[in-house]
Chain A
Amino acid sequence: MFHQLGPDAASFSADTDRLFWLITVIVGVFFFAAEAMFFWLMFRFRARPGVPGQYVTGKEKHLKRWLNVPHALMLVCDVVIVVAAVRVWVLVKQTLPVADRTIRVVGQQWAWTFTDPGPDGILDTEDDVRTTDQLNVEVGKTYRFELEAKDVLHSFFVPAFRLKQDAIPGRTYTGWFRPTRTGSYDILCAQMCGMGHGMMGAKLIVASAADHAAWLELHAADGALSAVDTTPTPDSTSAQPAVATR
């Protein structure tokens, strides 16, 4: 945990983590300095018999400096943080690299459905593979996702990717990611969506090229049938199949 926020499995995960640690260092310095000064003043100026308080207005130049200097430093640090934050923001939200594959992600009360374009690589054709509550992707490929919601607001959250985007009914949002590490990860719904919000998880499987190709070949023939991989994963506990779609 001290070098990263959790498993990182996308190309921009590390950028996000670095931003987290940059902010931690900067605010940490200010925070500890302020608290230390605070407690020191409490100790230094505790009431002692025969020692009255001083009449300090705050207009005294040598004292005003104690406000003005930290103030100026803060402004500089804020600029540094803003620049770093905007960098990450632009990378995740304002760039759309050329995609190897485009998938569709649909949130609804209370399940996720994913559409892989299938071997022909084109969405909405006969060989698309639709899965419920499980997303299979190939490591190293750049994915574009089209995010939709059927009923209320949902949010597509993949902690391992450090990626989150709200899904809004009536709109399609286009985003991107590139998985960099194989494994099994959580997909969470990060916007209150009713009774089943706490049961709206999905599994993300990032597979090697060979494994992914095998999976695709196995299911492309089924076409639009649900293709949940029922191979038990080491840490699957009470993960339920999807609630019936509405």
Chain B
Amino acid sequence: MAHATTHGDHGGPAHDAHAPQSFFHKYLWSTDHKTIAFQYTFTGMAMALIGAFMAYVFRMQLAYPGQAVPGYGVVTPNQYNALVTNHGSIMIFWVAMPVLIAGFGNYLIPLMVGADDMVFPRINRLSYQLFLLSALVLLVSLFVPGGGFGGAWTAYPPLSAKQAFNLTPLGSTLWVIAVAIEFVAFLLGGINFIVTAMNARAPGMKAFDVPIVVWTIVIASLLFMASVGPLIAGAVMLLFDQLLGTSFFDPNRGGDPFLWQHLFWFFGHPEVYVVLLPAMGIVAEIMTVFARKKLFAYKLVVYTFIATGVLSFFVWAHHQFVAGIDPRMANVFTVTTLLISVPIAEMCFAYIATLYGGSITFSVPMLWALSFMAEFLIGGVTGIYLGASGLDIYLHDTYFVIAHFHYTFFPIAIIGTMAGITYWFPKMFGRFMNETWGKIHFWGTIIPFNGIFIPLFILGAMGEHRRVFDYHNFPHLATPEMQAMRVVATVSLLIMLAFQPIFLVNFIASMFRGPKAPKNPWRANTLEWTADSPPPHGNWSEMPTVYRGPYEYSVPGRSEDYWPQNEPA
């Protein structure tokens, strides 16, 4: 099966056909970027089920404190802390990142730049294996004696560093190790995304002929690469404090708990853009196709993404306004934080403007893409409240923060994923998902989503603080009105969860029995739609050449309202 010879890049035949591969080689040991994409995506989706289950349990505890949660039992304070900690960690590191960056990145980048695979297929495989290992370590951490780590996903020391404080010695250490391995996996993966997009483009594909989702995944990988280093250093230091008795973060022995906070948030803030950018890329692709429109001010949008990425390195201490930093620093960070709202708003306005002059079809992917914008706007504007230092004194560590970041993260991780999956499903599996069930699932997810988090804004504004398993310990937070809002939020979550099996069934059934899909069912321009549905190993028998940009829709004078990138002029 070895084929050390390479083929010239003159549109000649691509990969030699392999001898028939075993199940192991085809599905578990593959270096094919599409298979690796599925591995990441399915693993991420499985982790999403676990993270969602955790949310179910702790929201039930909040709505009906002290009562046994069906399917779980009574929630102790320690378990509550572990549930919220791991819910957050799982959703960010083991759902949003693998699905949006590694899943869609792996699948789309070679196809959209006209390459036969990633530039380093074996490193790609290794990156998934490391990722899987990190997920397994995290899951193991939940079941060890003492229980899972419960120090919040932010893991501030001294709580996270000393078992005498956190009471979860094994869980805390395994959690740190899992996160560290996950970081290494994504550093490796990022090399592939960046180098493939930079170097392996089809002949004729200039920088601004590259579809925006490739741009955003590459910029996200660069952001990740430039920001995670200090936290890897910090994770090593935390591990040493936990295991070797060092005192990096121990104030009684010359250490500094602040150091961790700075290392964490220097990464933590760019990280949110690491996940936001791919989601926005996906939404842009869908909006252009289903509005039959060029992306409004495409170049400007790319520059705006880059500017946002750069600015994101200068806002981190807005997570630490009340942490005890020098109060003068807070003024600097409130300025930079409010400034970053400008390029983000620019992106939102450009996307909205893309609809102008369009011919909009409300397919299921388009519904998801449009709802991303509508919901993300709420997340964006509520960030202003928190970036305003004087107001953050009150709102920090309240449910207002939770509602804000769910109005950003949910659109990113869930809506963005749904948009991408429903859009590229025909290409990935050669079949269509069911449109009607897709619409039912859409409404059944979006409407309850708001029912969960709008009450949380109100509760936060009334002073309800985070990470508390039972508000009956606090008289002013235990009023019947506030408890009613908690119940509304929980019931909305139950409704939303009840609609998710529809998606799972639709997905799995359509994979095997959906109506067959042609190469380009959406009549889109980008290169992946010129490959077979699904594409074979090597993607094309003749590699494509590119003649124009990706958004030549509704070009006046043409009979078709789209113009594929690979069609000669």
Contacts and interface: CB of A to CB of B under 8 A. Distances in A.
* Complex A–B touching at CB under 8 A: yes
Interface of A: 1, 5-7, 15-16, 19-20, 23, 27-28, 30-31, 34-35, 37-39, 41-42, 45-48, 51-59, 63-64, 66-67, 70-71, 74-75, 78, 81-82, 84-94, 109, 151-153, 155, 157, 159-160, 162-166, 168-171, 173, 184-186, 188-199, 201, 233, 235-240
A155 B384 contact: no
Nearest to A38: B352
Contacts of B542: none
A1 B352 contact: no
Nearest to B158: A152
Nearest to B389: A89
B467 A35 contact: no
A80 B338 CA distance: 11
Given A1-B462, A34-B349, A89-B389, 16 more contacts: A5-B394, A19-B390, A23-B384, A53-B291, A56-B357, A63-B353, A66-B349, A84-B390, A94-B328, A151-B165, A157-B463, A160-B463, A160-B476, A166-B322, A185-B476, A194-B165
Nearest to A163: B393
Contacts of B69: none
Most B Cβ at <10 Å: residue of A89, A186, A189, A199 = A89
B460 to A, nearest CB: 10
Interface in B320-362: 322-324, 327-328, 330-331, 334-335, 338-339, 341-342, 345-346, 348-350, 352-353, 355-362
B80 A82 contact: no
B167 A198 contact: no
Interface string B471-483: 0111111100000
Contacts of A109: 165
A166 to B, nearest CB: 5
Interface in B136-178: 150-152, 154, 156-159, 165-167
Nearest to A88: B390
B336 to A, nearest CB: 10
B335 to A, nearest CB: 6
Contact of A55 (B158, B461, B555): B555
Contacts of B297: 57-59, 64, 67
B33 interface: no
Contact of B389 (A6, A54, A86, A186): A86
15 contacts: A1-B461, A19-B390, A20-B394, A23-B391, A34-B352, A52-B554, A52-B561, A54-B356, A56-B296, A58-B353, A87-B390, A155-B397, A188-B465, A195-B81, A195-B150
B185 to A, nearest CB: 27
B342 A75 contact: yes
Interface in B354-403: 355-362, 370, 373-374, 377-378, 381-382, 384-385, 388-391, 393-394, 396-398
A93 B321 CA distance: 10
Given A19-B391, A93-B330, A198-B77, A190 B396 contact: yes
Contacts of A67: 296-297, 346, 349-350, 353
A166 B478 contact: no
Contact of A47 (B151, B158, B361, B477): B361
A198 B468 contact: yes
Contacts of A5: 394, 461-463
A191 B345 CA distance: 31
B257 interface: yes
Contacts of A52: 292, 359, 554, 561
Contacts of A196: 77
